[in-house]
Structure 1
Amino acid sequence: MPVIRHLLSALAVGALLAATAAAAAPPRRVVSINLCTDQLALALADPGQIAALSYLSRLASLSFLAGNATAFRIVRGTAEEVLKIAPDLVLAGAYSSASTRMVLAAHGVPTATFTPVTTVAEARAEIARAAALLGHPERGARLVSEIDRALTEAALPPGPPVLALQMQRRGFASGRETLIADLMRRLGIVNAADALGVVSVERVPLEVALKARPDLLILQDEDRPPADQGAALLSHPALAAVVPPQRRAFLPYREITCAGPALPAAIRRLSGEVRRIRAAIAADR
């Protein structure tokens, strides 16, 4: 227990230092050690402010702004390598190494920790917070306005409700306390996972998913031969019989994992796919 108390105390010190830094001059050497804070730094900071990003920032399958990240140094996220850069602000995620954050706090490095968001409202708040920390609140306001504009433009016209199920490898489905579920609600899409009792991201047996009989299956990868057993479930003939290929939508991982600059693109893509699926359902009937 003393170790846990020491850890929590150190993390609190890091957060206090970050809050103090936000009230001072904009940081000049920002290091991000998290995929989602990478996106926020790339979207909201001046290029000259960014000292390093996480190694995930360059992976196009995960990072929405991977192309922009190639100009910057990358780090694995250890305290030793971060300290060598002498940052005046570190952006971290709630699942970034707690020991790294504790060491940074012990060395007086301001560290701001961002938690995964589950709603658009939370996304707006985290964007505004990051923009303020980086000294560019107006950029945060512009990104929030872009998200709101995308939601307005993506509003679906009146029509029959679409029952959708978002599924990932190994049968994991997204329940009501996830960002994709909030986007569904805002666009008027019924989340089939609600009736299944799924709250966060939970594994749903194939037979249970089949009984839900969704109109639309939202996947993260385009149709391709499964590379392993985890992906094979999504190609199961029984699932194809209930939700044929023409009623599957694809929302790339890089657009939905981090609720930052990718969010407008995810909103527009999801709305477009639902419009397409509605037409397919109407044709089937």
Structure 2
Amino acid sequence: MRAALVLLIAGFLPGSGTAKPARIVSMNVCADQLLLLLADRDKIASLSFLATDISTSMMTEEAVGLPQNHGRSEEILPLEPDLILAGEYTARPTVYLLRKLGFEVIDLPVAHSLDDIRANIRTVADAVGETARGEAMIAAFDRKLPKPEDTGYRPLAALYWANGFTSGVGTLASAVVEAAGFRNLGTEIGVRGIGQVPLETLISARPDILIVNEPVEAPAMATQKFRHPALQTAFLDQERLVLPPNLWVCGTPDIADAVAALHETRDAILSSTLANAE
């Protein structure tokens, strides 16, 4: 009897690994994806309504069939979750209420760097009782990343989004570009976070590569600059890379694939530059 009681208590001790949450709710699209990667599917009670939105999530197919919520307390309370994942800006009134009612709510900060991605993976993995799975995921993430090199020359990349916006200091997109061996135009012209770059500045900077989001099917004024004659002419013979917009929304392990792909492009640019110099 005593041995059984010891085992029962041990099962609920932090880190014991036997009392994993069984009804997990995510209210945030970035938490959705880490939860899908780290927890068993039958432990997921609900994901955010953006989990199946291809413009924001890289794991829409995996999310199909799971219940969804819009971050409202009346949706979440009936689920009786034993763990709730939210983002630092997610439905703050709901998060406040859930905490007041005694529910465990973990806020995931926005990932601005590769280290932030690792930290968020560890946070979710520990919370769902899958610490070893999280460490294995981080190890796989790191193996995909190119090793730091000192080539003496880092090509210039320009990130160019709808409405002429770019990503600068303190953004995940800039961290990805720099990890791949590029300099980021947004950082070099002093953009902090997200900011607009004039078309004249973009063209006069003569970046080695222009990185843009996949065009949306519906016409929009926000994307008209992509068709500007000056832009088309200036980058006629320049490298252009089109990436899906959902790649930059969240810090997930998929970021490592983006870094690796960009690094291959950077190597091709370096080879071309060296060949032209000979």
Asked if TM exceeds 0.5, the reply is: yes
**Which one of the candidate residues 264, 270, 282 is aligned to 2:256?**
264
Deviates more, 1:266-275 or 1:226-235: 266-275
TM-score using structure 2 length:
0.86
Tell me if the contact between 2:87 and 2:109 (Cα under 8 Å) persists in the aligned partners: yes
Deviates more, 1:72-81 or 1:24-33: 24-33
- Match of residue 44 from structure 2: 50
**Which one of the candidate residues 179, 182, 195 is aligned to 2:175?**
182
Deviation of the 1:198 alpha carbon: 0.5
Q: 1 CA distance for matches of 2:260 and 2:167?
A: 19
- Match of residue 116 from structure 2: 122
Q: 2 CA distance for matches of 1:37 and 1:225?
A: 28
**Which one of the candidate residues 79, 87, 96 is aligned to 1:85?**
79
Q: Secondary structure at the match of 1:56?
A: coil
Q: Secondary structure at the match of 2:187?
A: helix
Is the alpha carbon distance of 1:159 and 1:243 closer, same or farther for their aligned partners in structure 2, counting shifts above 3 Å? Answer: farther
- Match of residue 138 from structure 2: 144
Is the alpha carbon distance of 1:279 and 1:192 closer, same or farther for their aligned partners in structure 2, counting shifts above 3 Å? Answer: same
**1:169-218 residue CA offsets vs partner (Å, 9 max, x unmatched):** 10111102111212222222011112211011111222222222211111
Deviation of the 1:62 alpha carbon: 2.0
Q: 2 CA distance for matches of 1:160 and 1:225?
A: 37
**Which one of the candidate residues 225, 244, 247 is aligned to 1:255?**
247
RMSD: 2.5
- Match of residue 5 from structure 2: none
Deviation of the 1:264 alpha carbon: 2.3
**1:61-82 residue CA offsets vs partner (Å, 9 max, x unmatched):** 3211111101311111111101
Deviation of the 1:138 alpha carbon: 1.1
- Match of residue 163 from structure 2: 170
**Which one of the candidate residues 179, 184, 191 is aligned to 1:191?**
184
Q: 1 CA distance for matches of 2:268 and 2:94?
A: 46
- Match of residue 9 from structure 2: none
Q: Secondary structure at the match of 1:164?
A: strand
Q: Secondary structure at the match of 2:146?
A: helix
TM-score using structure 1 length:
0.84
- Match of residue 135 from structure 1: 129
Q: 2 CA distance for matches of 1:90 and 1:175?
A: 32
Deviates more, 1:258-267 or 1:31-40: 258-267
In our comparison, the structure showing a higher alpha carbon Rg is: 2
Tell me if the contact between 1:30 and 1:87 (Cα under 8 Å) persists in the aligned partners: yes
Q: 2 CA distance for matches of 1:243 and 1:21?
A: 60
- Match of residue 59 from structure 2: 65
Deviation of the 1:122 alpha carbon: 1.4
Letter of the aligned partner of 1:172 in structure 2?
A: F
Letter of the aligned partner of 2:224 in structure 1?
A: A
Q: 1 CA distance for matches of 2:124 and 2:144?
A: 21
Is the alpha carbon distance of 1:206 and 1:102 closer, same or farther for their aligned partners in structure 2, counting shifts above 3 Å? Answer: same
**1:216-273 residue CA offsets vs partner (Å, 9 max, x unmatched):** 1111215x78711101112212122222375111221222221113222222222233
Please tell me whether residue 273 in structure 1 is matched to residue 265 in structure 2.
yes
Is the alpha carbon distance of 1:284 and 1:55 closer, same or farther for their aligned partners in structure 2, counting shifts above 3 Å? Answer: farther
Is the alpha carbon distance of 1:40 and 1:105 closer, same or farther for their aligned partners in structure 2, counting shifts above 3 Å? Answer: same
Deviates more, 1:204-213 or 1:39-48: 204-213
Deviates more, 1:96-105 or 1:234-243: 234-243
Is the alpha carbon distance of 1:233 and 1:283 closer, same or farther for their aligned partners in structure 2, counting shifts above 3 Å? Answer: farther
Q: Secondary structure at the match of 1:116?
A: coil
- Counting aligned pairs with the same residue, the percent is 31
Please tell me whether residue 215 in structure 1 is matched to residue 181 in structure 2.
no
Please tell me whether residue 201 in structure 1 is matched to residue 184 in structure 2.
no
Q: Secondary structure at the match of 2:145?
A: helix
**Which one of the candidate residues 202, 217, 234 is aligned to 1:242?**
234
